[in-house]
Structure 1
Amino acid sequence: MNMKAIKILNRLTNISTLLIMVMLLLLASCADELDLEPLSAQTSEITFQNLDAYKQFLAKIYGGISLTGQDTSGNFDDIAGINGNFSNYLRLFFTTQELATDESIIAWNDQTIHNIHNHVWTSSDIFITAMYARVYFQIGLVNQFMRETEPGVLDSRGNVDEALREEIAGFRDEARFMRALSYWHGIDMFGDIPLVDENDPVGAFFPEQTSRVEMFNYLESELLDIESRLPNPRQNEYGRADKAFVWMLLAKLYLNAEVYTNTDRYVDALEYTERIINAGYTLVPEYSYLFLADNDSNGAEGEIIYPVLFDGIANGSFGGTTYLVHAAIGGNMNAADFGVNSGWAGLRTTSAFVAKFNDISGNTDSRAKFHTSGQTLEIENPFDFTQGYAVTKYRNVDVNGVIGSDVSGNNVDVNFPMFRLADAYLMYAEIFLRGGGGDASTALLYINLLRERAYGDASGNIAISDLTLDFILDERSRELYWECHRRTDLIRFGQFSDQGIWPWKGNIAAGRTTEKFRDLYPMPSAELNANPNLVPTPGY
């Protein structure tokens, strides 16, 4: 399976969707609001007569992050009960990780979307429920893939030779990484959640709730088990899991272990962060190249560890980076400058984030990507796009300003950088400051490499006396904003709920602290109603 095979997921409909969807209906029920519906009447016996189906199924698993459903029509969305425009995994992930922070606020008034930034969400919130459903839809896909590729099942089909068995074994490890990624999102956002794998029955049963500590241990064991068998870094096809994907997820898991388990694992976080840093990745010289339509070929591919792949022709939707480009354009901005045909006047940022830059023009620190003309800095009316500076980070043009592959300007080619080397540099410095090992000179070197790229020279370099945890939190925001790290970072630094303040947090213009229990999103009420083994998240 090559990169194109992963991208052209809307054409890959010949998979065993009936078995997958029926299993998901009973596993991650979301019965009241987000029912998962069968999309075809094929059985596994018919589907897997075609050996390409194994690759297609794996492509569907990868595509679960980028696609809304089986095609781009909107008629076959993977989850129901929410407008398909909002139901994309990555778009929901942005909602929960960015809209709840100082980095982003939205002008629209769709259902409960403003409750996320305002920190007044409830257990019946449609966007939180949809995010939970997306996590378990992904997990369910992988569980079914694992069932369909068990050695005994392959034996029963009689059409799988040894070469294909070996290839399928590699597919299984890649699928397990993707399952671990969604489980990580699950424990990070929801805390205690059910653990269900391929050994659980397909049918009507109520999974038990698993503690965050138990889930942490499960994820650690899964990732350590598949690590040795996956290809070495950058030796798999672009966009597919290799050892570096696993190292980065392990480093993230260990970095946040004190939040998840009340036990720090910074020493382990350093080990896997150093593996990433030493794996041959390099910083692309221009920061902006990371967020352009050709970021798979302009040098950014040497920095991006895990790209979520998008293609304006093959896998368009109203989610993913199409959303991040279109929704950030409004006011007097020219959509054509961003390689699209229109702006949706939705996403912009708050003055709290803008204040992290001494010069907002971008002439000093090139990471300051704001459109200020016709925009106010402060937000008196959160439903007015022109209040709050616009963000110009994602652009559907290549390094020469040429529009992406969809010349109509509807959908974009920008791959989303789920993991990249710059994050590992920042993680190393943070781990050092938290006592996990490493040394001061190396930590300072990594930070200044990022700042030299941003400033174009050494004028923005810092001294060792400047290297503090407060500085790291701000630098992570300057470097990684709108890449779905902010909520997790703020919680790790104790700044998300009952300490940090930014405009419209707490549903007042000046912002206020909110309840500590909001460090977790609630177990959706639809899940609680469907499964008697689940208990409400404390505080909700």
Structure 2
Amino acid sequence: MKNKMKQIIFIAAISFFMTACHDDLDQDPIDPDSFTEQDVFANTAEAKSALAKLYASLTLTGQQGPAGQPDISEIDEGFSQYTRMLFNLNELTTDHAVVGWGDPGLPDLHGLYWSAGNDFTGAMYLRLAQEVSFTNAFIKNASALPGEESQSFIAEARFLRAFAYYNLIDLYANVPLVTQITTDLPSQSSRTELFDFVESELLEIQDLLLDANEYGRVDKVAAWALLSKLYLNAEVWTGTPRYTDCVIYSENVMNSSYILNTTDANGNGSAYDELFLADNDTNGAQNEFIFALNFDGIQSQTYGGSTFLVHAATGGSMDPLSLGINGGWGGYRTTKALVEKFETGEIDLVSLNSSLGGTLSDWGLVGDATENAWDGPDMEMYETATNQFKLYAQLTDGLFKFRFNEDWGVNYGDDSNDGTLEAGGANIEVTAGTYLVTFDLDNLTYDLTEVVAEGDKRGMFYTDGQSLEIGSIPPFNQGYAVTKFKNIDSNGNQGSDSGGDFVDTDLPIIRLAEIYLNYAEANLRGGGGSIATAVDKINELRMRAYSGASGNISSGDLTLDFILDERSRELYWEGQRRTDLIRYNYFTTNTYLWPFKGNQANGSSVSSFRNIFPIPTNTISTNPNLIQNEGY
């Protein structure tokens, strides 16, 4: 299904003639009734290609592969792709990323000092305006087609229009609401009016969307998921909390057929990284993706999307081939504020030994593999039952024996290296590691079980030659590199583009894990639901992250700040962070600082008007009905 959809998107991108530049939400295709030189709305089968253009508008950048005939002019075409701009506006502006490139307007984003003429904030406005324009034209044309399938197509187009407005509400707050083809200059709508429109659209289309759709297209659950996101932010956007509604629609999603990916397809001990590999449409990750944008190194080439995320985060001493690409662009890294949110999995021997129960005995470990070598004192073991002894111990490469009361008159070793002990037997060889050592005196047997530190495997960073601290942003070696996204599949094979230029990895826009976090946050904010369910869902995420229950929490650990940090750990570099920080009132204030926030090395607060971006200057100048956002 993924390949089929990608081929349709590819055909749509190169065959439909659309106006190259939309300067505002009041501008539409030159001839909105003619998507191509022939009538692609002659029947439902042809209309599906036009529908694909609506998805392609969020994935690709123009009519001619990675570059050429762009949909949006006046900015480098590669920069103008939707998810690349979403990253720059919602991740680069936060503690999740810095960039060393000096393109005009780009450093301004992380420094939080952009102007109304910023190319990147302006291009995102145009991209979303274009999506609104395309969806309006599709809805008008497809309305004449008979049959249930055409109605489901229209419902998908309405979802994508609602999604575009969800982004516009978040990023720009007050924009024109345009739902029909018109040449009139529209008036500005308030954030609340736009919120009400998106809500009503999603409620109306939820039963018009298919219960399940082909991969890459939205279904009924996607409408519920977007409502969950909308209601979570309602208090910020409208002044009215809607956390109860967030809980309700999050529950709808959690009770659907989507499931959290727990398949460790590449066998590396974690099922999280599969979400961001080149075969994430088939390796199990697809079952978690509620709304994903499809990318393919051959069929849908772009310098945005996952191609951008993999190449731009690669530099320094990193091996591009290990990531499935031919070279790095040496641009984006992260700050220590993100890195330090991940537990490294250090082993606490004191806590582990305390958990054994029992009492310290006269039996112990002695040898050059132990902490006190052959001279002792011995590492005393805990008697956990009669003649049963255990100890968590850090051992080095070397030899050891079991000894009673530090007296060589009573000691045991292993002559045959078979786990059976003999009085005065041979020294036992061990390699360096942390072990649970057990000793059964009744049966004269022992066991060594290595204890592996199970830290949070979601933190995927390249550190060789990279400093954690950032003294100056431009050098790539300052700040850890992020290796979350890769162009290799679960078997270690490179993506479909053998040249290594373009990446296959699909990008999840909404996935089930986010809805778990929405539910937990809305519950804590008074939206109802069950705290036990919230803890269970968070622990599902953490069990995947830790490859077991070592990272599990209890209800006492579940606070709003914990959830914010967990969102950071689970969703970093997925286009969510700025929105989350604003909801917590941390984005512009001094309550939470990170390196180079406010263009200061140690971070500083900025004016609150930067919680939203400016309407582009040229848009304001061409439409006298619009009022610029405060502060710009």
Q: With structure 2 as the length reference, what TM-score do the two structures score?
A: 0.78
CA contact (8 A) 1:25 1:37 kept: no
Change (3 A) 1:312 1:475: same
Change (3 A) 1:36 1:337: farther
Q: Which residue of 1 aligns with 2:593?
A: 501
Q: For the residues of structure 2 that align with 1:422 and 1:444, how far apart are their CA atoms?
A: 13
1:324 aligns with 2:415: no
Aligned sequence identity (%): 45
Which residue of 358, 364, 368 maps to 2:343?
358
CA contact (8 A) 2:65 2:300 kept: yes
* Local SS of the residue matching 1:213: helix
Change (3 A) 1:265 1:73: closer
Deviation at 1:46, TM superposition (A): 4.3
Task: Give the counterpart letter for 1:109 in structure 2.
Answer: G
Q: How does 1:330-349 map to 2 (within 5 A)?
A: 330-349=315-334
* Local SS of the residue matching 1:393: coil
Q: How does 1:39-438 map to 2 (within 5 A)?
A: 46-49=39-42, 52-151=45-144, 154=145, 162=146, 165-198=147-180, 200-201=181-182, 203=183, 205-232=184-211, 235-285=212-262, 286-359=271-344, 364-438=455-529
Q: For the residues of structure 2 that align with 1:251 and 1:530, how far apart are their CA atoms?
A: 35
Change (3 A) 1:67 1:38: farther
Q: For the residues of structure 2 that align with 1:40 and 1:121, how far apart are their CA atoms?
A: 38
Task: Give the counterpart letter for 1:510 in structure 2.
Answer: N
CA contact (8 A) 1:14 1:47 kept: no
* Local SS of the residue matching 1:305: strand
Deviation at 1:17, TM superposition (A): 2.8
CA contact (8 A) 2:29 2:134 kept: no
Q: For the residues of structure 1 that align with 2:152 and 2:4, how far apart are their CA atoms?
A: 16
Change (3 A) 1:149 1:433: same
Q: Give the structure with the larger helix fraction.
A: 1
* Local SS of the residue matching 2:226: helix
Q: Which residue of 2 aligns with 1:159?
A: none
Change (3 A) 1:103 1:27: closer
Task: Give the counterpart letter for 2:178 in structure 1.
Answer: V
Q: For the residues of structure 1 that align with 2:460 and 2:35, how far apart are their CA atoms?
A: 48
Q: For the residues of structure 2 that align with 1:180 and 1:191, how far apart are their CA atoms?
A: 14
CA contact (8 A) 1:15 1:56 kept: no
Q: How does 1:489-528 map to 2 (within 5 A)?
A: 489-499=580-590, 500-528=592-620
CA contact (8 A) 2:188 2:625 kept: yes
Report the RMSD for the aligned CA atoms in angstroms.
2.2
The range that moved more, 290-299 or 142-151, is 142-151
Q: For the residues of structure 1 that align with 2:12 and 2:551, how far apart are their CA atoms?
A: 48
Q: Which residue of 1 aligns with 2:6?
A: 7
Q: For the residues of structure 1 that align with 2:162 and 2:88, how far apart are their CA atoms?
A: 21
CA contact (8 A) 2:334 2:480 kept: yes
Larger radius of gyration: 2
CA contact (8 A) 1:305 1:419 kept: yes
Q: Give the structure with the larger strand fraction.
A: 2
Deviation at 1:358, TM superposition (A): 2.9
Change (3 A) 1:279 1:290: same
Q: For the residues of structure 2 that align with 1:460 and 1:372, how far apart are their CA atoms?
A: 23
* Local SS of the residue matching 2:508: strand
- Deviation sequence 1:351-371 (CA, Å, 0-9, x none): 111111231899511011111
* Local SS of the residue matching 2:259: coil
Change (3 A) 1:26 1:264: closer
Change (3 A) 1:36 1:114: farther
- Deviation sequence 1:70-115 (CA, Å, 0-9, x none): 1215111100000112111111111101000000111111111010
CA contact (8 A) 1:97 1:487 kept: yes
Q: For the residues of structure 2 that align with 1:319 and 1:403, how far apart are their CA atoms?
A: 19
Change (3 A) 1:28 1:343: farther
Q: For the residues of structure 1 that align with 2:41 and 2:520, how far apart are their CA atoms?
A: 48
Gaps of 5+ in 2: 263-270, 347-452
- Deviation sequence 1:265-287 (CA, Å, 0-9, x none): 00101010001101022221200
- Deviation sequence 1:97-144 (CA, Å, 0-9, x none): 100000011111111101000000011100000000001010100011
Q: For the residues of structure 2 that align with 1:76 and 1:50, how far apart are their CA atoms?
A: 28
Q: For the residues of structure 2 that align with 1:42 and 1:264, how far apart are their CA atoms?
A: 41
* Local SS of the residue matching 2:121: helix
Deviation at 1:505, TM superposition (A): 1.1
CA contact (8 A) 1:37 1:79 kept: no
Task: Give the counterpart letter for 1:244 in structure 2.
Answer: V
Q: Which residue of 2 aligns with 1:529?
A: 621
Q: For the residues of structure 2 that align with 1:448 and 1:73, how far apart are their CA atoms?
A: 41
Count of aligned pairs between the two proteins:
516
Change (3 A) 1:135 1:105: same
Gaps of 5+ in 1: 30-34, 155-161
Task: Give the counterpart letter for 2:242 in structure 1.
Answer: R
Deviation at 1:395, TM superposition (A): 0.7
- Deviation sequence 1:402-435 (CA, Å, 0-9, x none): 1111111111111101111111111111111101
Q: For the residues of structure 2 that align with 1:73 and 1:511, how far apart are their CA atoms?
A: 37
* Local SS of the residue matching 1:488: helix
Change (3 A) 1:239 1:42: closer
CA contact (8 A) 1:310 1:415 kept: yes
Q: Which residue of 1 aligns with 2:390?
A: none
Deviation at 1:347, TM superposition (A): 1.1
CA contact (8 A) 1:213 1:261 kept: yes
Q: For the residues of structure 2 that align with 1:141 and 1:289, how far apart are their CA atoms?
A: 33
CA contact (8 A) 1:36 1:79 kept: no
- Deviation sequence 1:370-392 (CA, Å, 0-9, x none): 11110011111111111000001
Q: For the residues of structure 1 that align with 2:511 and 2:286, how far apart are their CA atoms?
A: 9
- Deviation sequence 1:438-461 (CA, Å, 0-9, x none): 122111111111111111111111
* Local SS of the residue matching 2:526: coil
Q: Which residue of 2 aligns with 1:157?
A: none
Which residue of 534, 550, 557 maps to 1:443?
534
